[in-house]
A and B are shown apart, each in its own frame.
Chain A
Amino acid sequence: MKRHLTKYIYCSLVMLGIIATQSCTKNFDTLNVNPDASSKAVPQYIFTKAQYDGTARMLDLLLGTMQYTTSFNDVAGFGSKYVLSQSPQSAAAFTNAYPNEINELGEVLKAVGTDASQVNLQAEARIWKVYCFSRLTDLYGDIPYSQAAQGYNQAIYKPAYDAQKDIYADLLKELDQAAQSLDAAKTTFGSADLIYGGNTVKWKKFAYSLMLRCAMRMTKVDIAQAQTWATKAIAGGVILDDADVAKVAYVGAGQDINKNPLALDLYNNDYIAGNGSTNTEGGKYQDVFINYLKANKDPRLAVVSVVWNGGAADTTSAIQKGMSAGLNAKPADFVTYSEPNPKTILLLNSPRLVFTAAESYFLLSEAAARGWYTAATAESLYQNGIAASMRQWSIIAGSAGTITTVQINSYINAHPFNTGGTLDQKMEQIYTQFWVGVFPDAQEVFASYRRTGHPALVPNNYVGNATGGKIFRRMQYPVSEQNLNAASYAAAIARQGSDDFLTRIWWDKQ
């Protein structure tokens, strides 16, 4: 027995010893590889995603703020009522942009590398990044920029906020460099580029158009810089032809990401029932917008607006009626108010216009009025702007959006440019047309409204509002920034002013 005992103990010790001294980890390398994910980034595919995401990043609430739409519901009507309790809504673009398009573009640039043969991929990613960042900083002012989206690459979990002034300087530099680096002879993103299919000539126009936009933003704060960059942009060549309009095309079916994001938001959030009555968030066009279109006999009224009449969408101008932003409960006559036309604004496969010829013309018209541009008159540019803005509805919605040349000309004739007026009077004309012309890009209108003060919208002094009845000057940062990025947030506030809707951002300073 004694011998057996020794044997067993020996046996077991040897066995344990084998295991104890040799780690059991050989398969771990392969075990810990996700079978459903790739270790390799494909820059084309990520770039396409970034284009979808960048285009989708918008604050629908600004449609209310710019007085196109409203709702009787406090939550959905926040943009038009400025209710304090709903203010966190304004942070959505900030929260979502960084983990999506901003980080994606960083991944694209990382994957593309610095190889000279990839210069067009680099340039297009940089241009698109400028577009995305400029939209963000225009909403919030100072934002994380130079340290943004470096969580993985540099382990920066609390990025500092850059001053908007510095951001603008870098955005303009980026556009300049990227536009110049484009080379038609080299490889492109091809069909992965939803905007231009890799066309470098058009990308260059897009870059200079963005440069013009950014330049004009600075007219209040640094007129000299504004002129310098606007001149440079114009010299580079901006988007003027309908064929060059920067737009993202959508499939309209399948996954939601393949659908026009604004159309999808409006449709899903409010107008899906298609009866004018059970709108899920109680949304309608606001009276200010509809009244203006009606008063000016604008041919766009029938394109953008319908009233549900006996179960059918009716575009008859006479019955169009906007809803007051002052309501706080569902009115009994709710069904009689105008709402977006399912065949145009709500069309899921319509392209989303990112930069239009109309915008270029209006900016050029301002540049001409300021005397920075002399190749055409402010008046002709203004007229071209109106015409382009009316034509673009057929780009969006085909025949349902077609406005005839006769209609366009008749409208232009009815709205002559005040060539002898003051600059401000010209600005009022240009940017009132901008307001109706660039619709539904409320975010861009929100920027031009803050910069020029036109059109002179009458703010809504709704009970319990967050602004004392004034229109927003900026959007608020997410509360989570106070929690997760407190020091950087505090530094930004110290520099820019309190995190309020009425604090003016750098280019909006009086």
Chain B
Amino acid sequence: MRKLDSSNFLRCCCFLMVLLGRSAYGYAQMALTSNNRIHAKSYGYTAPQVVENKVLLKDALDNLKKQFNVQIAYQEGLLDNKFVPANLTSNISQLTLDDNLKQLLSAFQLTYRKINDNQISIFTVKDLTSTNAAVAAVTLTGKVVDAGDGQPVVGASVYLKIDNKVGAITDITGSFKLIVPDKYSGRALTLVIAYIGYNQEEVVVSDPASALQIKLAQNNKALNEVVVTALGISKQKKSLGYSVTEVKGTEFTQARENNVANALTGKVAGVNAAGLSTGPGGSSRVVIRGNGGLAGDNQPLYVVNGMPIDNSVPGGAATVNGITNNVDRGDGIAAINPDDIESISVLKGGTAAALYGSRAANGVILITTKKGRIQKGVGVEFNSTATYDNVAVFPDYQYEYGQGDGGVKPTTLAAAQASGRRSWGAKIDGSTDYVAVDGNTHPYVAQKNNLKNFYQTGSTYTNSLAFLGGNEAFTYRFSAADLNSKGILPGTTYDRKTFNLALNGKLSDKLSIEALAQYNVETGHNRTGAGDALGNPNWTPLEVANTVDVRWLKPGYDALGNEQIWNDASIASNGYFVINKYKEDDVKNRFIGQGSVIYSPIKDLTFKATISRDFFNYNYSNILPTGTLYIPNGQYAGIKSDVSETNELATVSYKTKIIRDLSVNVLGGVNSRKNTTNQLTFSGSQFTIPYFYSFTNLAVSSTTPYNAKVVTNSVFGSADFDYKSLVFLSFTGRKDWFSTLSPKSNSIFYPSIGGSFILSDAVKLPEFFNLAKLRGSWAQVGGGAPDPYVINLTYSNVPSAGQPLQNVTSNNITNSNLKPYTSTTFEGGFELQMLKNRLGLDVTLYDRKTTNDIVNTAISSTSGYNNVILNVGEVSNRGIEVLLNGTPVKTSSFTWTASYNVAYNDNKVVKLAPGLNTIQLATSVGNWGILDNIEGKPFGMLVGTRMQKDAQGNVVFNATTGLPVQTPLQQLGKSVAPLTMGLTNEFRYKRFSLNFLIDGKFGNKVFSVMEVYATRLGLMKSTLPGRENGLVLNGVDQTGAPYTRTVPVSGLRSYYDNYKTYSDLFLHDGSFVKLRQVILSYALPTNLLNKVKIQSASISFVARNLWTIYKQTDNFDPEQSFTNSNAQGFESIGLPRTRSLGVNLAVKF
């Protein structure tokens, strides 16, 4: 096989571009000569067009409505694509209503009838002709109403089956009058009643003299619903062999989250999304249908308008056990402005994502951004939101015994400083000889408001403004948005400016172009750290002694700017010093550009070529200042990173009928993906000139470059068959070549097949069912190693001020035999619409297996390395997803819709490598809790120790140490919730709507580092026994003999501190139910708005994370994760979770 290098590959793509370019020229010529033609099918939009000096007939009639205060009814679509000269609308006030109407309608085959003084109906002339022509014949009358709510159906067509030229349109009351020509008199008549969105009805006229009562049933919206699928291709939902969930953009804009991915929480069955406890600008963690890989990031691929974007966290995710400089620097999806989102489609993996290839193994989140639209004038959309955050979760600590040691409270400054973080003191009695760390005497009373006093009200103001419009040849949308956020941690700010431009041009009937550009600047300042104590501002308010008002520690620094002592372990930073003197700054400049050329030389044959580039430049610095008690001369950490993701994609698709009733749509394409990272990390310590924070001012410093280039080249194809819109079959195939793998085995081909069957159209089902669809699919997706340089051993220089030093480049064993992994998904399901579409049920079962996963796993350091990259094992995810939605109440003024989704995912590590039955994912601070993947167990098993108990449940003591015996490592519980659900209710009453979302996750465990410290420091209620007279221990010794001893009050601190060696004491059920979101909206009356030229406006009161209805963790929020890596299941002293309240204003001009 001859090999083609990537430049040839590009040349191939260029060839296509040139081909398209030439044609573009040719057709542009043609377009010039034919600019008077009206293109009925303008590029997918059915909206009318604007021609210079002309206005839409519809708009002109709207003017009349206002001027004469009448209502005008017409059949939907009747006025589309009709323009009138603009000057006709300038003098409407000088003419009568009738003259105006005649003038406007005369150019078209339209006329009108006055139903009464203020109601007018517009018809096509032939309707009128037929009615007029029928002199004194039979006149049929009747009324058409909605079968569901009994409301009149306005504008429905009613015509004779034998002669569809004889017809009428229903008026504003749903009534019609149809005059049957003489020639049909005496004949049996059947009326056909049709209206968009309703099933067509036929009614046999039995008594022409009596008025007919006709009920139209709404047809199945879902049946014709179109969703965006892989590569941005829109498909009819009914044709899909897999489950896709689409969420509309409006769901993200009212009660907004800074990171749009967090807003998916609870909305989509099988999507486990969670925000992190890291403040504004933080990352998200989204896992679709469970963790598929043993050690990859397991997050979905984010695709914007068909092209992937980068979602990496610069410099990597924060860790569970990090110390200083351990901040969440924010992920890629955080850059997307919710106001720019038209819709989000969640492709849950397998067939849905097969065309995206390797990185789609964990599912795809497809974001379609808003485009311009053809309209008169410039449309303006303005959206403004203000939200306010406050701490929502407070630890349930003991407030019986206060600051001090050995049962004694401090009465001197030295003693106060020595025990600043310890609550092993005397009984809290309000006594007045208590000296605190500020040197002052205070009453010895409990201080329960330290979190409220330490944190502030956070705020986020978002304003976005969009301009949009366009004509038949060209549409545009430009938006600018500013998000300004202040964290609950004083000093934390995050600012995001987003500019988004979408241009679509239709150069001719056959050629169109599309260009999208987004530019953002994200600026973060003093993002919080977490993990261990040093430099973690959250440590102080959470662990300070319980009789200390945290504000006594203010300002945290002395006259020289050095950290003030508040306890005897200087590693536990003064939180105020961190707030005031630590400096974290980051700026990300990001540009996402995309250009496409679409060429359809003939009907149903389309070539499309797209190039997209997501580029960001990132600068980060984190300064641990001079005067820090633990590191007096300071430290510096910096990252400068340039990351780009470039995708070139060319496709050709052709749609044709093979035989009658069987059509096929074939697609072929090529894709080249190039991801480049050029990064410098700066680290150093000891500022030579104190308090001067520059990389140039460090006694010890080093700069480490990292340059990586990853290329994946692919070819793919698909064929979609459609038989009578009854049976759909879809086949895809893709082959990828990965630059990161060994040349021996760097490619993989993987196919997929999917089908759906519309049962309700094939056989007659009871009327109860409106739609019944069965679907099934099988798909494979292959993948390569995410990072380069993992196949060959290399050596790197180690920074040295003396002799040159060298070592192996990485502690990670490289593997020259790496081959692609495979993820295989079976999926089956059905969809039912029942009770006149008032009730819908969608059920999916899936089974997803990842084999030969590429895993970077921790190994025994005695191997000489800490990690190895291997093709190992098998991970299985099996689950069920159920979506139930319904409209329990629907009247003209009040509707109640509800949607409930529930998913259960059984995530299991089936097999690891021979001789390897455990791989380690993460460890907590102090190794008190470990996260493992263990063969035969659920993904992400929390591992740790317990207090040893005998068969009778007695604690076993070590007679030598007098302490409970620690068991060897045991499996304590899974870190990932298998059961997730969400319930959305929406009530609409006239102009009001109330929407609330309740969601829950069940069945996982969380290990709390905060509680380990709070136990050691005497804050936990569990440390109360023994405070007065010592703790009597009863149990057995290791021989089984009874054992008893009393721990004196002075020994309690040490005794309870030792509890940290029993991991399960700090492990809790992480299940919860939360009232996640409440939106109360009011749409302002349009007639009021019209006077100020506003099309629509609404105001909403919004709340996020309002109420935790159920949880099992007394001292922290179960969603208290700090990292978006696989290291879930740890509470790590991050920022407390907040509830937010706000108001949103949306206006369209």
Q: Which residue of B lies closest to A464 (CB)?
A: B1054
Stretch from B97-105, B273-281, B411-419, B1078-1086 that touches the partner: B411-419
Q: Which residues of A contact B740 (CB under 8 A)?
A: 32
Cβ-based interface call for A377 (8 A): no
CB within 8 Å for A485 and B1060 given contacts A38-B795, A99-B866, A251-B801? no
CB distance from B647 to the nearest CB of A (A): 14
**6 examples of A-B residue contacts, CB within 8 angstroms:** A11-B19, A16-B715, A25-B3, A26-B5, A45-B805, A84-B961
Q: Which residue of B lies closest to A35 (CB)?
A: B707
Cβ-based interface call for B1037 (8 A): no
Task: Rank and list the top 6 A-B pairs by shortest CB-CB distance, nearest first.
Answer: A254-B801, A151-B863, A464-B1054, A149-B864, A103-B864, A468-B960
- Choose among B669, B865, B1016 the residue that contacts A151 (Cβ–Cβ < 8 A): B865
- Choose among B629, B713, B1051 the residue that contacts A25 (Cβ–Cβ < 8 A): B713
- Choose among B571, B706, B739, B799 the residue that contacts A32 (Cβ–Cβ < 8 A): B739
Stretch from A232-240, A293-301, A310-318, A328-336 that touches the partner: A328-336
Q: Which residues of A contact B602 (CB under 8 A)?
A: 1, 4-5, 8
**Range, interface on chain B:** 35 or more
In contact, A328 and B405 (Cβ under 8 angstroms): yes
1/0 per residue B788-802: CB within 8 Å of A?
110111111111111
Stretch from B135-143, B335-343, B854-862 that touches the partner: B854-862
Q: Which residues of B contact A381 (CB under 8 A)?
A: none
Cβ-based interface call for B735 (8 A): yes
CA distance A19 to B809 in the complex (A): 36
In contact, B927 and A479 (Cβ under 8 angstroms): yes
CA distance A99 to B866 in the complex (A): 7
Cβ-based interface call for A194 (8 A): yes
A11, A16, A73, A159: most-surrounded residue (chain B CB, <10 A):
A16
In contact, B864 and A463 (Cβ under 8 angstroms): no
In contact, B414 and A144 (Cβ under 8 angstroms): no
Q: Which residue of A lies closest to B1016 (CB)?
A: A85
Q: Which residues of A contact B813 (CB under 8 A)?
A: 151-152
Task: List CB contacts (< 8 Å) of B692-735 with chain A.
Answer: 699-700, 702, 705-707, 709-711, 713, 715, 717, 735
CB distance from A26 to the nearest CB of B (A): 3
Cβ-based interface call for A241 (8 A): no
Stretch from A46-54, A405-413, A414-422, A440-448 that touches the partner: A46-54
Q: Which residue of A lies closest to B715 (CB)?
A: A20
Task: List CB contacts (< 8 Å) of A135-183 with chain B.
Answer: 143-144, 148-152, 156-159
In contact, A84 and B3 (Cβ under 8 angstroms): no
Cβ-based interface call for A278 (8 A): yes
Task: List CB contacts (< 8 Å) of B764-821 with chain A.
Answer: 788-789, 791-809, 811, 813-814
CB distance from B568 to the nearest CB of A (A): 4
In contact, B860 and A157 (Cβ under 8 angstroms): yes
Q: Which residues of B contact A13 (CB under 8 A)?
A: 668
CA distance A251 to B699 in the complex (A): 13
Q: Which residue of B lies closest to A81 (CB)?
A: B1054
Task: List CB contacts (< 8 Å) of B914-959 with chain A.
Answer: 915-916, 918, 920, 923, 926-927, 930, 932, 943
CB distance from B299 to the nearest CB of A (A): 24
Q: Which residues of B contact A45 (CB under 8 A)?
A: 797, 803-806
Cβ-based interface call for B743 (8 A): yes
- Choose among B5, B605, B631 the residue that contacts A5 (Cβ–Cβ < 8 A): B605
In contact, A467 and B960 (Cβ under 8 angstroms): yes
Q: Which residues of A contact B415 (CB under 8 A)?
A: 329, 332
Q: Which residues of A contact B226 (CB under 8 A)?
A: none
CB within 8 Å for A253 and B860 given contacts A466-B961, A484-B920? no
CB distance from B891 to the nearest CB of A (A): 54
CB within 8 Å for A12 and B795 given contacts A273-B632, A485-B862? no
Cβ-based interface call for A39 (8 A): yes
CB within 8 Å for A31 and B920 given contacts A8-B601, A84-B961? no
In contact, B863 and A9 (Cβ under 8 angstroms): no
Additional A-B contact list (11), CB under 8 Å, known A41-B795, A85-B1057, A107-B808: A11-B19, A18-B12, A28-B738, A35-B707, A42-B795, A94-B861, A102-B864, A149-B863, A157-B868, A192-B804, A330-B414
Q: Which residue of A lies closest to B917 (CB)?
A: A486
CA distance A88 to B945 in the complex (A): 14
In contact, A39 and B795 (Cβ under 8 angstroms): yes
Q: Which residue of A lies closest to B668 (CB)?
A: A16
Cβ-based interface call for B839 (8 A): no
Q: Which residue of B lies closest to A143 (CB)?
A: B862
Q: Which residues of A contact B923 (CB under 8 A)?
A: 480
In contact, B862 and A148 (Cβ under 8 angstroms): yes
CB distance from A489 to the nearest CB of B (A): 9
In contact, B737 and A99 (Cβ under 8 angstroms): no
Q: Which residues of A contact B711 (CB under 8 A)?
A: 27-28, 31
Cβ-based interface call for B989 (8 A): no
- Choose among B654, B788, B1050 the residue that contacts A34 (Cβ–Cβ < 8 A): B788
CB within 8 Å for A480 and B860 given contacts A16-B652, A73-B569, A74-B1054? yes
In contact, A22 and B801 (Cβ under 8 angstroms): no
In contact, A157 and B3 (Cβ under 8 angstroms): no
Task: Give the A-binding residues of B (Cβ under 8 A).
Answer: 1-9, 12, 15-16, 19, 405, 412, 414-415, 417-419, 565, 568-571, 601-602, 605, 607, 629-633, 652, 654, 668-670, 672, 699-700, 702, 705-707, 709-711, 713, 715, 717, 735, 737-740, 743, 746-747, 788-789, 791-809, 811, 813-814, 858-866, 868, 915-916, 918, 920, 923, 926-927, 930, 932, 943, 960-963, 968-969, 1016, 1050-1051, 1053-1055, 1057-1058, 1060-1061
In contact, A479 and B5 (Cβ under 8 angstroms): no
Q: Which residues of A contact B747 (CB under 8 A)?
A: 23, 25
CB distance from B925 to the nearest CB of A (A): 11
In contact, A84 and B1058 (Cβ under 8 angstroms): yes
CA distance A343 to B414 in the complex (A): 30
In contact, B654 and A9 (Cβ under 8 angstroms): yes
Q: Which residues of B contact A456 (CB under 8 A)?
A: none
Stretch from A255-263, A351-359, A396-404 that touches the partner: A255-263
Q: Which residues of A contact B16 (CB under 8 A)?
A: 15
Q: Which residues of A contact B927 (CB under 8 A)?
A: 88, 479-480
- Choose among A24, A84, A95, A484 the residue that contacts B6 (Cβ–Cβ < 8 A): A24
Q: Which residues of A contact B862 (CB under 8 A)?
A: 94, 98, 143-144, 148-149, 159, 481, 485
- Choose among A40, A332, A484 the residue that contacts B412 (Cβ–Cβ < 8 A): A332
B6, B415, B654, B803: most-surrounded residue (chain A CB, <10 A):
B803
In contact, A36 and B5 (Cβ under 8 angstroms): no
Cβ-based interface call for A455 (8 A): no
In contact, B569 and A41 (Cβ under 8 angstroms): no
In contact, A278 and B715 (Cβ under 8 angstroms): no
CA distance A465 to B962 in the complex (A): 9
CB distance from A91 to the nearest CB of B (A): 9
Q: Which residues of A contact B793 (CB under 8 A)?
A: 39, 152
CB distance from A132 to the nearest CB of B (A): 12
Cβ-based interface call for A494 (8 A): no
- Choose among B412, B629, B807, B930 the residue that contacts A483 (Cβ–Cβ < 8 A): B930
Task: List CB contacts (< 8 Å) of A458-507 with chain B.
Answer: 462-468, 478-486, 488, 502
1/0 per residue A269-290: CB within 8 Å of B?
0001100001011100000000
Q: Which residue of B lies closest to A158 (CB)?
A: B860
CA distance A486 to B971 in the complex (A): 14
In contact, B700 and A103 (Cβ under 8 angstroms): no
CB distance from A199 to the nearest CB of B (A): 16
CA distance A37 to B9 in the complex (A): 28
In contact, B920 and A157 (Cβ under 8 angstroms): no
Q: Which residues of A contact B795 (CB under 8 A)?
A: 37-42, 46, 107
CA distance A450 to B860 in the complex (A): 29
Q: Which residues of B contact A106 (CB under 8 A)?
A: 864
In contact, B805 and A39 (Cβ under 8 angstroms): no
- Choose among A8, A32, A102 the residue that contacts B788 (Cβ–Cβ < 8 A): A32
CB within 8 Å for A23 and B4 given contacts A8-B602, A52-B805, A74-B1057? yes
Q: Which residues of A contact B654 (CB under 8 A)?
A: 9
Cβ-based interface call for A203 (8 A): no
